[in-house]
């Protein structure tokens, strides 16, 4: 039985009171903090770096922090993020000159490592690295902004990724990010995902606890169907 993880994306949090907002969403039942790092180069938007990750730790956030690097190049920021308290670091293969070396660098720095595939990046790009990764993150929107609609073709990619992971009996978390909400989370789970990033669906809701509880109950219903 999969262990489903709900990971609110800080991109939709209130940056003026980030510690409090992240703390509230964890108190409301979220499992993981999804920390979006954008550089206005690999993606058009610009967000935050290791100092803000460290500030969340200093604020008392003890949950797993899942850092999604949407930056190029990536290697120089891996030790600073590990030192700032990241638990998982994921990056896009297009952003590294040597994907295997970048994955090894993440692990040498004591973090779990993952690859992220954009909607247009074929699953095949991850295949050579499956035995090296802890997380495979499939983007279900083009990265850069929260609040976009889920791209339905991602469901097929999730199914194919799940089949690959199961066939090789790998313990890789299959994470999906972008446009996940109460209407589609059970379809994403049915396709084979077990880690769900949701930004606007959670942070734009009035009652985080109610939204997360409803998401979890949609996942439980799927599990029992
Ligand atoms: O990385 C990204 C976007 O680039 C995501 O993490 C989004 O921030 C998720 O937000 P929603 O689509 O759930 O609003």
| Residue-level pLDDT at 2 | 56
| Residue-level pLDDT at 223 | 75
Q: Where are the domains of the chain?
A: 5-203
| Residue-level pLDDT at 87 | 98
Q: Whose CA is nearest to atom 6 of ligand 1?
A: 9
Q: Point out which residues pair with 68 in neighbouring strands.
A: 36, 90
Q: Tell me which residues have their CB closer than 6 angstroms to ligand 1.
A: 9, 11-12, 34, 36, 68, 141, 143-148, 177-180, 197-201
Separation between Cα atoms, residue 146 and residue 149, nearest integer Å: 9
**DSSP assignments along 17-68, one per residue:** GHHHHHHHHHHTT--EEEEEEEBSSSSS-B---HHHHHHHHHHT--SEEEEE
Question: Which ranges of the chain would DSSP assign to H, the alpha helix?
Answer: 18-27, 50-59, 78-83, 99-108, 154-167, 185-191, 200-203, 208-224
ipTM at complex level: 0.98
Binding site annotation covers 199?
yes
Catalytic site residue 187? no
| Of 189, 188, 193, nearest in space to 224 by CA | 189
Instruction: Identify whether the C-beta of residue 10 lies closer than 8 Å to the C-beta of residue 33.
Output: yes
Which of 67, 199, 200, 203 is the best mutation target for the ligand 1 pocket, counting ligand atoms within 8 Å of the beta carbon and taking the most? 199
Q: DSSP character for 3?
A: -
Separation between Cα atoms, residue 87 and residue 93, nearest integer Å: 19
Size (the chain), residues: 225
Binding site annotation covers 147?
yes
Per-residue pLDDT of the chain (225 residues; tens, 9 = 90+): 459 999 999 999 999 999 999 999 999 999 999 999 999 999 999 999 999 999 999 999 999 999 999 999 999 999 999 999 999 999 999 999 999 999 999 999 999 999 999 999 999 999 999 999 999 999 999 999 999 999 999 999 999 999 999 999 999 999 999 999 999 999 999 999 999 999 999 999 999 999 999 999 999 887 777
How remote is the CA of residue 97 from the centroid of ligand 1, in Å? 25
Q: DSSP character for 9?
A: B
Which one is the CATH code of 5-203: 3.40.605.10, 3.40.640.10, 3.20.20.70, 3.40.50.720?
3.20.20.70
């Amino acid at each position: 039985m999969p262990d489903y993880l709900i990971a609110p994306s800080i991109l939709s949090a209130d940056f003026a009171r980030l510690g409090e907002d992240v703390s509230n969403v964890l108190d409301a039942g979220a499992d993981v903090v999804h920390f979006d790092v954008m550089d206005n180069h690999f993606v058009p938007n610009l967000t935050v770096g290791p100092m803000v990750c460290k500030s969340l730790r200093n604020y008392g956030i003890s949950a797993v922090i899942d850092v999604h690097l949407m930056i190029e190049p990536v290697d120089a920021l891996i030790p600073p993020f590990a030192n700032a308290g990241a638990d998982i670091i994921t990056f896009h293969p297009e952003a590294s000159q040597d994907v295997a070396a970048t994955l090894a660098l993440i692990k040498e720095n004591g973090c779990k490592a993952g690859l992220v595939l954009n909607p247009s990046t074929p699953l095949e790009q991850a295949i050579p690295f499956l035995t090296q990764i802890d997380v495979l993150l499939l983007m279900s929107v083009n990265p850069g902004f929260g609040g976009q609609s889920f791209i339905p073709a991602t469901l097929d990619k999730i199914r194919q990724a799940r089949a690959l992971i199961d066939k090789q009996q790998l313990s890789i978390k299959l994470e999906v990010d972008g446009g996940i909400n109460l209407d589609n989370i059970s379809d994403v789970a049915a396709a084979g995902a077990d880690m769900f990033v949701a930004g606007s669906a959670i942070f734009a809701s009035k009652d985080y606890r109610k939204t997360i509880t409803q998401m979890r109950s949609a996942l439980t219903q799927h599990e029992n169907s």
